[in-house]
Structure 1
Amino acid sequence: MTIKDTPEEWRVTATATPFSGNKTSVRTDDVVMPDGSVARRDYQVHPGSVAVVALDEEGRVLVLRQYRHPVRQRLWEIPAGLLDVPGENPLAAAQRELYEEAHVKAVDWRVLADVYTTPGGCDEAVRIFLARDLSEVEGERFQVSEEEADMEQARVPLGDLARGVLAGDLHNTCLVVGVLSLTAALAGDGPDSLRPAEAPWPARPFEA
């Protein structure tokens, strides 16, 4: 038996967009159920995101601490950001986010995981990369603003982060998935067996 998610699309009889924001919107679809009934589904339409588990030579992961207003918490996270341009190459976006948020670049890039963050209420898809062979970017730092202006940065051993996830101390989706995925990769066939950085991503097709 193969356990694999598969594409499928149920018939929509009506759709509306009751809210459009700066980056996301809310869509309402009337969807035909298997029994023939019609159910109304509201969900957030999202451009997609990328995130980076940046691992240094000492086995530490670069993490950022940032205030997140919807959950009223300051969360430890990994560098991440939106796919701001339709069809944008996710690797290029991840490299940009690592530079802008941490002033770091990496030589070796792999795909750790592709996830839907909340598929019951949002179509956001996130590609999480593993970045290795890190170094500081030369020149001036990128000028951040708003919540990012108050970010803290640290490098934490991977094992400490994994224990924090399992203890219920760390909650950010990308950090949780990225840390546990890397832990599984290290315990299995190793990071070099991961998908290449330009692996296809059906959820957010991109230009090479």
Structure 2
Amino acid sequence: MDDRSTVDVADVAEEWEIRGSSTPFQGRVTGVRTEEVRMPDGSWARRDYQTHPGSVSVLALDDRQRVLILRQYRHPVRQRLWELPAGLLDVPGENPLHAAQRELYEEAHCKAGSWRVLVDFYTSPGGTDEALRLFLATDLAEAEGERYEAHGEELELESARVPVEELIRLIHAGELHNPTLITGTLAVHAALHGPGGLDALRPADAPWPARPFI
């Protein structure tokens, strides 16, 4: 059996040879790309995947260790899912932190005095290049000014604040299914109980190689 303690457990950048690339569909934000990729045995395999500008999300944690969650309808799965505030990085050149702050204001009319990076991940790396940065927001307060005028599916947003431990129970019971909510809840639970607590998390402007920003 391999001694896993000697393995460098970290993802690394790599790109296999491509001999053809096309974009058979391009929507307003996302598209579909088709590429032929050389396999280790020398053969060529077709890969179709969704191109995506990237996303940000916010786990807003209050002083009672409750998480701000929102529920909205998601048509592809025909369900109303509990989720975290989130949005696309569809404004050219926008800093991810600024995008996250905007989403927290627009979707929850909330602001935060402290921001950290909770976790970075690819939402579904076998089928899309979407990268998501999930921020932890603490020291919460209601935002000033008028509420953002919602539209579309956001007109029926529901909100709740649920303790971290209760979210953990609901995840394990199979009652919650949004991957960002699940990832964020497990990550913040680990951070709360880990060495250094929340202070050990990366700063909000930490490098993000998947989506470099200025």
TM-score range (shorter-chain normalised) is over 0.9
TM-score relative to the length of structure 1 = 0.98
What does residue 146 of structure 1 align with? 152
TM-score relative to the length of structure 2 = 0.95
Calculate the aligned-residue CA RMSD, in Å.
0.7
Q: Is the 8 A contact 1:105 1:137 kept in 2?
A: yes
Q: Does 1:20 align with 2:22?
A: no
CA distance in 2, matches of 1:127, 1:57: 23
What does residue 203 of structure 1 align with? 210
What does residue 133 of structure 1 align with? 139
SS in 1 for 2:63: coil
SS in 1 for 2:162: strand
Alignment-mate amino acid for residue 200 of structure 1:
P
| Match 2:46 to one of 16, 21, 40 | 40
Identity %: 65
Q: Does 1:110 align with 2:116?
A: yes
CA distance in 1, matches of 2:191, 2:183: 12
Q: Does 1:193 align with 2:165?
A: no
- How far 1:123 sits from its partner (Å)? 0.5
- How far 1:86 sits from its partner (Å)? 3.3
Q: Is the 8 A contact 1:87 1:204 kept in 2?
A: no
What does residue 58 of structure 2 align with? 52
Alignment-mate amino acid for residue 206 of structure 2:
A
Q: Is the 8 A contact 1:77 1:172 kept in 2?
A: yes
- How far 1:85 sits from its partner (Å)? 2.1
CA distance in 2, matches of 1:52, 1:180: 14
Q: Is the 8 A contact 1:47 1:124 kept in 2?
A: yes
Q: Which runs of 4+ in 1 moved over 6 A?
A: none
Q: Does 1:173 align with 2:189?
A: no
- How far 1:87 sits from its partner (Å)? 3.4
CA distance in 2, matches of 1:24, 1:154: 30
Q: Is the 8 A contact 1:52 1:78 kept in 2?
A: yes
SS in 2 for 1:128: strand
| Match 2:91 to one of 85, 94, 117 | 85
Q: Is the 8 A contact 1:53 1:131 kept in 2?
A: yes
What does residue 11 of structure 2 align with? 5
Per-residue CA shift, 1:94-114, capped at 9, x if unaligned?
Answer: 000000000000011011100
**Aligned length in residues:** 207
CA distance in 2, matches of 1:73, 1:67: 6
Point out where structure 1 has 5 or more consecutive residues left out of the alignment: none
Q: Is the 8 A contact 1:95 1:105 kept in 2?
A: yes
Q: Does 1:184 align with 2:203?
A: no
